Amino acid sequence: MVNINPAYRRAELEYALNKAGCRAVILAPEFKTSNYLEMIGDLAPELAHAAVGSLKAVRLPALEYVIRMGTAQTPGMLNFDELLGNPSAAEIEALEMLGERLQFDDAINIQFTSGTTGAPKGATLSHHNILNNGYFVGEAMRLTENDRLCIPVPLYHCFGMVLGNMACLTHGTTMVYPAEGFDPLATLRTVAAERCTGLHGVPTMFIAMLDHPDFASHDLSTLRTGIMAGSPCPVEVMKRVVSQMNMREVTIAYGMTETSPVSFQSSTDDPLEKRVSTVGRIHPHVEVKIVDDNGRIVARGQPGELLTRGYSVMLGYWDDEEKTRAAVNTAGWMHTGDMAVIDEQGYCNIVGRIKDMIIRGGENIYPREVEEYLFRHPKVQDVQVVGLPDKKYGEELCAWIVLREGQKATEAEIRAFCDGQIAHYKIPKYIRFVESFPMTVTGKVQKYLIRQKMKDELALEEAKTA
């Protein structure tokens, strides 16, 4: 299974399908502002005249099947309902034989994660990876067959797929999906109507629910636990979730797609102070170490890069040995790129990021990926993208652009160039046209100075986070 972010646009969809060599794609006709039939039609115009299952598209050479949801018919495409008929005896036998051949450490899932070099990387996860991680996530929340977990987080992320679905499947817990996409009112109504005992979300989701005008009219007394993760969790938000949403056993989880994803999680009975100020303690059967710039383990309580090893580490990046070797060393340690401190009790605090990553509303964005796309604009000579503090999303993107000599452009023109081509959350909120960037004597761009200048100009303050 290859997870495709529904916010992807044509360039990203084309890359993901070709990188993974997808033979089939399943899509809804549309969702919100995205028309998926148009997108796939633009990338594979051959569909209009292709026999079902025999697509031969120049831009998507591996793709054979396009399967659409709904009852309407589209030339060249199968309807999803057509696949739900009773299987033949031969098909059942073939499925059983396939099941016997599968091994626990075979690849089962490719998760595309934004790459520092511009193109998303396909983190390849095994049955062993995601099944076990889902189990231990559920154990940390003390899930049972009597629980009902509300899952408003995306299923194309590990958050929904593993921390949601797999945690429930391994504990007999009921999965409850409140809407096709996150809607704070729909989530509140669903929790109340379905008597949910658990609720997942990134901080921005919890903020939207807590601040909704109708928040107080919903009975959330059945809530007990859940997970807040995906981006740094503001301390005050965590306290409000406990006191106002009754989630007295809410947990914080930390990880990355490449580690299936969770490696640290707080427990339901951890002191509240630890749950709001740390990401908990290490998961069972996982090793971590904190190292300095030379790769040597630092003393307890000292900061350094967090490395992870164990069953949860991915098989590698799909079809990319070089990036895999750069991320996972010969001893099996996964470099997280995060700076962390582990105290005497084993609680971990993430203190910064080595990787130049921006986290906007739970979405990981590497500036290089956005820069690479903006470089395609014929008027752009150079561009640098940084993250700026934002009260709603945690961070927002800011692009500094140097135009080619003699060229003029507007912010609207740059955004229009991005619209429909890259995901909406990657389109910079702030755009500035500049003559040059602050540089070191060796010619490296000093992004921290760009960030500070914009913070001063816009009077932005860093959000206090756990």
- CATH code of 449's domain: 3.30.300.30
Output the CA–CA distances (angstroms, integers) from residue 97 to 92, 103, 104, 150, 224, in the order listed: 9, 12, 15, 35, 42
When divided into structural domains, the chain yields a total of 3
* pLDDT the model gives residue 227: 97
Is residue 226 domain-shared with residue 362, that is, in the same domain? no
Is residue 232 domain-shared with residue 377, that is, in the same domain? no
- Residue 371 domain flag: yes
Q: Is 142 left (phi over 0), alpha (psi -120 to 50) or beta?
A: left
In this prediction the pTM is 0.81
Selection from 138, 148, 129 nearest residue 171 by Cα: 138
Is residue 22 domain-shared with residue 62, that is, in the same domain? yes
Domain that holds residue 57: 2-84
* pLDDT the model gives residue 442: 44
Q: CA 198, CA 356: separation in Å to the nearest integer?
A: 33
Question: Could you tell me the CATH number of the domain that includes residue 246?
Answer: 3.40.50.12780
* pLDDT the model gives residue 445: 77
Q: CA 340, CA 322: separation in Å to the nearest integer?
A: 26
Q: CA 154, CA 112: separation in Å to the nearest integer?
A: 14
Is residue 42 domain-shared with residue 78, that is, in the same domain? yes
Is residue 139 domain-shared with residue 219, that is, in the same domain? yes
- Residue 164 domain flag: yes
Is residue 163 domain-shared with residue 256, that is, in the same domain? yes
Q: Which of 84, 119, 147 is the last residue of a domain?
A: 84
* pLDDT the model gives residue 156: 92
- Residue 224 domain flag: yes
Is residue 131 domain-shared with residue 59, that is, in the same domain? no
* pLDDT the model gives residue 382: 85
Is residue 158 domain-shared with residue 194, that is, in the same domain? yes
- Residue 99 domain flag: no
Is residue 258 domain-shared with residue 155, that is, in the same domain? yes
- Please give the chain's pLDDT, 466 residues, in tens: 999 989 899 999 999 999 999 999 999 999 988 999 999 999 999 999 999 999 999 999 999 999 999 999 999 999 999 899 999 999 999 999 999 999 999 999 999 986 434 578 999 999 999 999 999 999 999 999 999 999 999 999 999 999 999 999 999 999 999 999 999 999 999 999 999 999 999 887 998 899 899 999 999 999 999 999 876 677 778 889 999 999 999 999 999 999 999 999 999 999 988 888 899 999 999 999 999 989 999 999 998 999 999 999 999 999 999 999 999 999 999 999 888 999 999 999 887 667 677 889 988 787 878 988 998 899 998 899 999 999 999 999 999 999 988 999 999 999 999 999 999 999 999 999 999 988 754 456 788 899 999 999 999 987 655 4
Q: Which residues pair with 48 in a beta bridge?
A: none
- Residue 291 domain flag: no
- Residue 275 domain flag: yes
Is residue 383 domain-shared with residue 429, that is, in the same domain? yes
Is residue 147 domain-shared with residue 266, that is, in the same domain? yes
Q: CA 449, CA 439: separation in Å to the nearest integer?
A: 9
Q: Which of 317, 337, 370 is the last residue of a domain?
A: 317
SS3 for the chain is CEECCCCCCHHHHHHHHHHHCCCEEEECCEECCEEHHHHHHHHCHHHHHCCCCCCCCCCCCCCCEEEECCCCCCCCCEEHHHHHCCCCHHHHHHHHHHHHHCCCCCEEEEEEECCCCCCCEEEEEEHHHHHHHHHHHHHHHCCCCCCEEECCCCCCCHHHHHHHHHHHHCCCCEEECCCCCCCHHHHHHHHHHHCCCEEEECHHHHHHHHCCCCHHHCCCCCCCEEEECCCCCCHHHHHHHHHHCCCCEEEEEEECHHHCCEEEECCCCCCHHHHHHCCCEECCCEEEEEECCCCCECCCCCCEEEEEEECCCCCEECCCHHHHHHHECCCCCEEEEEEEEECCCCCEEEEEECCCCEEECCEEECHHHHHHHHCCCCCEEEEEEEEEEECCCEEEEEEEEEECCCCCCCHHHHHHHHCCCCCHHHCCCEEEECCCCCECCCCCECHHHHHHHHHHHHCCCCCCCC
- Residue 143 domain flag: yes
State which amino acid sits at residue 234: P
Q: CA 141, CA 197: separation in Å to the nearest integer?
A: 11
- Residue 423 domain flag: yes
Residue 61 backbone phi and psi in degrees, to 5: -65, -30
Distance of CA 260 to the CA centre of its chain: 12
Is residue 150 domain-shared with residue 276, that is, in the same domain? yes
